[in-house]
A and B are shown apart, each in its own frame.
Chain A
Amino acid sequence: MDANMLYALRDPAGLPFYPVVFMLLSVLTFALHIFAVQVMLGASSLVISGAFRADPHWRRLASAMTDVAKIAVSVAIVIGVAPLLFVQVIYDPFWYTSSVLSARWVIGFIVIMIAAYLLLYVYYFSNYRADTSRTPRSRWAMLVSLALFLVAGFLIHVFTSQMLHPDQWMQWYAPGGDLDTSGASLHAYNPWRFGFFILMAVPAVGAWLLAYARYLSGRADADLGYLAFVNRLGARLLQVGVPLVLLLGGLWMATLPESAAGFGTSIWVWVALAALVAGGIAAHLARGDGERGSYLPLLVLLVVGIVIAAAREALRYVILYGAHAYDFMDYKVNMDWYSTALFFGTFAIIGGSVLAYLLTVAWQAGRTVGVYTPSPAVHRMGVVSIALIALWIVQYFVVGFVVWAR
């Protein structure tokens, strides 16, 4: 595929706003997505390790992490939708070609995800009422679930990787000159890159545990022995995880395709490396004392995640622009102010205030022994949230009727 063909594939409808904004949103939301994925993978792994041990602390942790995994999957999925939207807006020629060439797997992804998620629930419902001293039932379900989630993640990794090889698309689609329309093959992947994003789960869940301990230590009925255990485990996962991730990142950079020549030693990699090392050290220092844990490592890792997501996007740009002369920055713009303003307004005002309310309540309720009754200020946040969404709905109809009647 030469640049001419790539540009021909671009959607003629253009974009309703500047392309760079979609790219930035894509980086930000991808960072959140992959973080949720990592927490989910880490939590699931802890569930499994706990379920196969007799130690009461491990058992208790496994039970708590089942809830974390369950919710983290939902969050990973719902956040994943955003980069899915943004990537195909600016990189449509690549995203669609890659998907169609592995179409059967694209459909397979859906089936695999449903199976994996249902199995997680099978495990959950087999154990949610049981007391943690008993050996958990249906451990196989959890094992298979985790394995399937990893397969699903690998598929996305393949779709993303195939985007980067326009020069090989024709060979994949028409090997030997005969069209292969089955979409049955997976063509490009890099195990180190995949491993890098997956094993980030180790430090991520380590930081998660430290935060979890910190959170629980605020409860009146906190069990200090358990918290100390959680803290130790969290700190160790952080210590082991960061070097592991550095190693995989190095292997990934060493195995970049030729089209990315030079990227491995570019400023992006140095920045990401610095962020990882500094973040790892900072997280370690901020890990908190014996029982109390800390929220800081989690925040630090989130920031590191955003830096890495940015470097990952830069890599894509370097390959597609540098080697294939496709520049998403020159995407045609059909400016649409209304829908642009509506999104940012909804995102910042409604998203911000409603989530602030919901998360405050969830946070406080989780820390309260017995029934939680919010303060008048928090309750007012709730009323404001309802009013804002109601206002949004009114706006929808008013604008709609005006347009309709015109």
Chain B
Amino acid sequence: MDFIGLYPTWYEPGIGSGWVVAIIATVHVLFSHTAVGAAILFAYLSTKAYREDRPELLDYIKKYGLFLLIFSYVVGSITGVGIWYSTTVASPRGISALIHTFVWKWATEWVFFVIEVVGVYMVVYLVGKVDKRTHMTIAWVFGLASYATMLIIIGILSFMLWPGKEVWFVEGGYLNGFYGSNTFAQLAMRTAFMLTMTAVVGGIVAARIKDPAFKKEMSRKLGWLGIVSTIVGAALFQWYLHTLPEYAHLVMQNRLPDYFGPSLMAILGGILVYFIATMLQPRLLVTWGAATMVVALLVFGLWPEEVARESIRKPWVAGQYVYSNQVIGRDVPGLGIESEMPRLEAHGLLPLHPFLPEELREVTPENVARAGEAVAITMCTNCHSLSDTGIRPIRRYIGDSSDIVAIKRYMKGSLGTGNTMYMPAMPLKDLEFEALAVYLASLNDPSVVARYQAERAPLAKVQTTEDK
């Protein structure tokens, strides 16, 4: 029999693997965007330092750069690997789909990463050790290489939500997957917000400048950078929303947490007020104030953004063809990829999953709860935790019910037919739904299993032969 390419599942009952990914991703977005933005800021400042002979600007670069070495390059580069690692264990086939389609793009990005890492050390440590013109040249190499890394990852991120062009499904081809309106809108928006982050984080270093006149100058520069980029970013966000398919709008209207909109408005407004205040009165620019703004940005800006990005692509995890539960739910003739739905429908999940003990391949009254658990672990835990904590605890979603018949009927009607908007289609076998229902019911009332077995055992033989 042809197995489906499913891996073992990592299930984290505390907070859920989805949140582990989201936490690492949120932190990484801040660090990586700040790093790219700062690299561009450095190119600008270094040019000014050269043209106007202003060594104190280089001094600022050195201080901000040292801070960034830790903030962005230590934590940023490791959390970058961290996103890979966490998605690898949370969603191996999702990351695999991206990696296999874009391996050369990532490899190309890697060339720029290497340049970036060499560049950042040089920009920081060669201040005062090379002439200003050379420093400027290095700063430009560094700034442009950093931006190139951003250009590359944006295309991959866009693909993750929606392949650039619809023809990608039919023709394949990396270009069709990479470029689309969403790619450019997202690029423009992220470029703006990355400069916002750079300005906010740069405040931490600018706050410690001793010379009042220089501090005033830097808080104005950062202030303008922050204000303009925030306003432009907000406008570009509207463009970005326009490029999302209708489906995503539906999800956003129905599925996003209520705090999402207000939270984003509040952080954007807060940032504007903050920059205006520190520009008018540089004394207000203090380390803890800037640090607080960074944390606020993380919690009220980036976290909802990451959660939203995660939500609007449900039930898919990559390229609108790999479901969150790792099953391939759509043909991609362009790459010769076949949907696994027909095979699931024909044979069910249990016989086709490579990583199941042999005794669970067929549902029996004896193994019903364990088989149901295996189904739930494979098909649901990417989006629902089986405990009371973590992402969308499943118990709450079945309304604390322990009615096997009702649960099964619901599952067959919704998941079986694939007519819920945000959940994958799962054309499982009747007995698999039954096992799933028994297991889910047992989460609310453990005694249902014994009752079910007592009732079912005598019928089991008849039932299974009928089913075949």
Q: Which residues of A contact B (CB under 8 A)?
A: 1, 4-5, 8-17, 22, 25, 71, 74-75, 77-82, 84-86, 88-89, 92, 95-97, 99-101, 103-104, 106-107, 109-110, 113-114, 117-118, 121, 169-170, 173-174, 177-179, 181-183, 332, 334, 336, 338-340, 342-343, 346-347, 350-351, 354-355, 357-359, 361-362, 365, 368, 371-374, 379, 382-383, 385-386, 389-390, 392-393, 396, 399-400, 403-404
CB-CB under 8 A from A374, the residues of chain B are 130-131, 134
Evaluate contact between A14 and B100: CB separation under 8 angstroms.
yes
Evaluate contact between A386 and B133: CB separation under 8 angstroms.
no
CB-CB under 8 A from A16, the residues of chain B are 101, 103-104, 174
Query: Is there a chain A Cβ closer than 8 Å to B145's Cβ?
Result: yes
CB-nearest residue of chain A to B4: A8
Evaluate contact between B133 and A379: CB separation under 8 angstroms.
yes
Evaluate contact between B141 and A354: CB separation under 8 angstroms.
yes
Q: How far is the CB of B64 from chain A (nearest CB, A)?
A: 16
Given A74-B73, A361-B122; A96-B96 close (CB under 8 Å): yes
CB-CB under 8 A from B144, the residues of chain A are 386, 389-390, 393
Instruction: Identify which of B180-188, B268-276, B411-419, B441-449 touches chain A.
Output: B180-188
Q: Tell me the chain B residues, 75-105 only, with Cβ under 8 Å from chain A.
A: 75, 77-82, 84-86, 88-90, 92-93, 96-97, 99-105
CB-CB under 8 A from A1, the residues of chain B are 354
CB-CB under 8 A from B77, the residues of chain A are 74, 77-78
Given A71-B121, A178-B370, A358-B122; A96-B92 close (CB under 8 Å): yes
CB-nearest residue of chain B to A71: B121
B74 CB contact (under 8 Å) in A118, A332, A382:
A118
Evaluate contact between A100 and B335: CB separation under 8 angstroms.
no
CB-nearest residue of chain A to B103: A89
Evaluate contact between B100 and A89: CB separation under 8 angstroms.
yes
B140 CB contact (under 8 Å) in A5, A183, A386, A403:
A386
CB-CB under 8 A from B178, the residues of chain A are 400, 403
Query: Is there a chain A Cβ closer than 8 Å to B148's Cβ?
Result: yes
Evaluate contact between A13 and B101: CB separation under 8 angstroms.
yes
CB-nearest residue of chain A to B119: A358
Query: Is there a chain A Cβ closer than 8 Å to B245's Cβ?
Result: no
Lowest 7 CB-CB distances: which A-B pairs, in order? A103-B10, A103-B89, A8-B3, A96-B92, A382-B137, A339-B104, A181-B11
Query: Is there a chain A Cβ closer than 8 Å to B342's Cβ?
Result: no
Evaluate contact between B104 and A389: CB separation under 8 angstroms.
no
CB-CB under 8 A from A396, the residues of chain B are 148, 151
Q: Tell me the chain B residues, 34-48 only, with Cβ under 8 Å from chain A.
A: none
Evaluate contact between B337 and A12: CB separation under 8 angstroms.
yes
B145 CB contact (under 8 Å) in A4, A80, A100, A389:
A389
Q: How far is the CB of A36 from chain B (nearest CB, A)?
A: 11
